Amino acid sequence: MSVYDERPWLALYDEGVPADPVLPHETGLAMFDAAVARDPRAPLLHYLDTTLTTGQVDELAAGLAVGLAEEYGVGRGDRVMVQVQNMPAFVLAMIATWRLGAVLVPINPMFRDSELDKLMADAAPRVLIQLESLVPVLASVTSRHDTAVISASELDFVTSWPEDIFPGVRRARVEGVRDLGELIGSHTGKRPPTVETAGDDLAFLVYTSGTTGPPKGAMNLHRGVVFSSENYRNWCKLTDQDVCLGIAPLFHVTGLIAHIGVAFLLPMPLVLGYRFHPVMMARLIEKYRASWVMGSITAYIALLNEPTIDSFDLSSLSKLWSGGQAVSPTTVEELEKRFGAYVHNLYGLTEVTSESHAVPAGRRAPVDPDSGALSVGPPVSGYVVRVVDEHGNDVPVGEVGELVMESDSVVPGYWRKPAESEKAIPGGRLFTGDVGFMDTEGWFYIVDRKKDLIIASGFKIWPREVEDVLYQHPAVKEAAVVGVPDSYRGETVAAFVSLKPGAHAEPGELVAFCKQRLAAFKYPRTVEILDEIPKNPNGKILRRSLRGRVATVETRRA
């Protein structure tokens, strides 16, 4: 059976990686408090050109907690929504919220009226801490909800703003809206009364990306935050000598755990650069000697294809992991040649509070000889993972099925959605909706999302297999494959690609390239070249936005 349970493949667990994690703390707040107690003078946040120590972050967050409690009545169980970029305000809001026993609700700063309206209606936050420039833009939405708004400026804690990277950023105070810096300043030196929190208390409501339907608030627990942070430390062999580059959005579960959670746990400095830009990231890597990166493969590709990248010293990079979408073996090879460090694969979900599988430090992911897929690794410590058929029965080793997971970091459900919680997580077992298989040595491979399966003339085609072939073409930077209606086959393959800077390729050339390397029913009948492949802010390709670009295909004679 494809059940990774009794750990017969313990050889995959490198030295120092336990099969079952021993958690050093009960809550995310306890991780931070331990970091402060260890050394309040140690650097914790590098934001552009400014550094804040653990002690400074603790003092600022304490003042914010007092302000939230005394001026806005925030208490245990209340939701504090945060809509800012990768900046100190996010981290301060997280700690302050936890000090009050409240729940952080991180949301995307790119969300606009209808998206924000739905999330505010669902989460019912008592307070919204919002990027200053967004306050007037979204005032019509926030005014409809019983939620106080506090503005936070990206210029806070910065002595020199990088105008060449992020031009036109200015202070834009909104009359009648409390400023975060002023709120903290009015309560400097104060500390809130102690509120006891436990591992089973809610730490976050993290809304899923919505790639499979309307966003749902995953109820991430404090014990899940600690559990996943500890697994990152063990599996990636992180130490307090490492420096984390905050390349992922902090509002995403990767940023919450692989950046903030790990920075608190070790502790290690966390480098923040407002939002992702390849030149900005390269500058920060060079300036702060960042060593640990956990980001989407699209971010790595952007760095790889940045024309000025060779002018930066990136030699400090040594511990690189990627997750969020399929990774081509060809891309990994190109990245290693450029950065001198191997990019380890990783797989996870919001519902498991970040990672569930990872290629251990020092190991290289095997490539499945049949599909060409790169392994995402074995399950990390403390996981039971099954591969099941459509009836929930375990399938044989090597056979494709849906991944089902059990772990202490699996969320108990979705906020105010008991029916959907029971459907997706019956009895605490998460049905991921992702399709993959396990080989005889315990390595797992993700094939695709169940809903992305293409069936042409009765044959099953997984988009990832076609994408991996496209990545082998020297001109292709990114690729995305979808199924589209076909008047003869029922469905057929359509591909979308973006090209590397200065490269050239014709659609017919790419079709022929795939035709030479894939079975007749698998190669794409259409290829469209785009400037950029559409992705959500987490770097995940939005296949559904691509499907509408291709009309029904007539392929009887193709």
Instruction: Concatenate the DSSP letters of all residues of 142-196 into one string.
Output: HTTSS-EEEEE-TTTT-SS--TTTSTT------TT-EEHHHHHHTTTT--PPP--
Please tell me the predicted confidence (pLDDT) of residue 557.
36
In angstroms, the CA 259 to CA 280 distance is 17
288, 313 contact by CB (below 8 A): no
In a domain, 155, yes or no: yes
Name the nearest CA neighbour of 443 among 4, 15, 18: 4
In the chain, which stretches have pLDDT less than 50?
6, 8-9, 211-212, 552, 555-558
How buried is residue 439: exposed, middle or buried, by Cβ count under 10 Å (0-12/13-18/19+)?
middle
Please tell me the predicted confidence (pLDDT) of residue 465.
78
543, 325 contact by CB (below 8 A): no
In a domain, 368, yes or no: no
Of 197, 226, 251, the one marking the end of a domain is: 197
Of 177, 197, 217, the one marking the end of a domain is: 197
In a domain, 217, yes or no: no
346, 294 contact by CB (below 8 A): yes
In a domain, 131, yes or no: yes
Please tell me the predicted confidence (pLDDT) of residue 447.
79
Please tell me the predicted confidence (pLDDT) of residue 211.
43
Name the nearest CA neighbour of 222 among 460, 414, 379, 31: 31
Strand blocks (E) in 201-302: 202-207, 217-221, 244-245, 270-272, 292-295
323, 355 contact by CB (below 8 A): yes
Buried b (16+ CB within 10 A) or exposed e, 364-391: ebbebeeebbbbbbbbbbbbebbbbeee
How buried is residue 539: exposed, middle or buried, by Cβ count under 10 Å (0-12/13-18/19+)?
buried
Please tell me the pTM assigned to this model. 0.84
In a domain, 23, yes or no: no
Number of domains making up the chain: 2
In a domain, 503, yes or no: yes
* pLDDT tens-digit series, residues 172-201: 899 999 999 999 999 999 999 999 999 999
- Check which CATH number belongs to the domain holding 97 and give it: 3.40.50.980
In a domain, 189, yes or no: yes
Which phi and psi (to 5°) does residue 102 adopt? Answer: -95, 180
* Strand duo 79-83 + 103-106: pairing: parallel
- Check which CATH number belongs to the domain holding 523 and give it: 3.30.300.30
In a domain, 470, yes or no: yes
Which phi and psi (to 5°) does residue 281 adopt? Answer: -65, -40
Domain assignment of residue 480, given as a range: 453-547
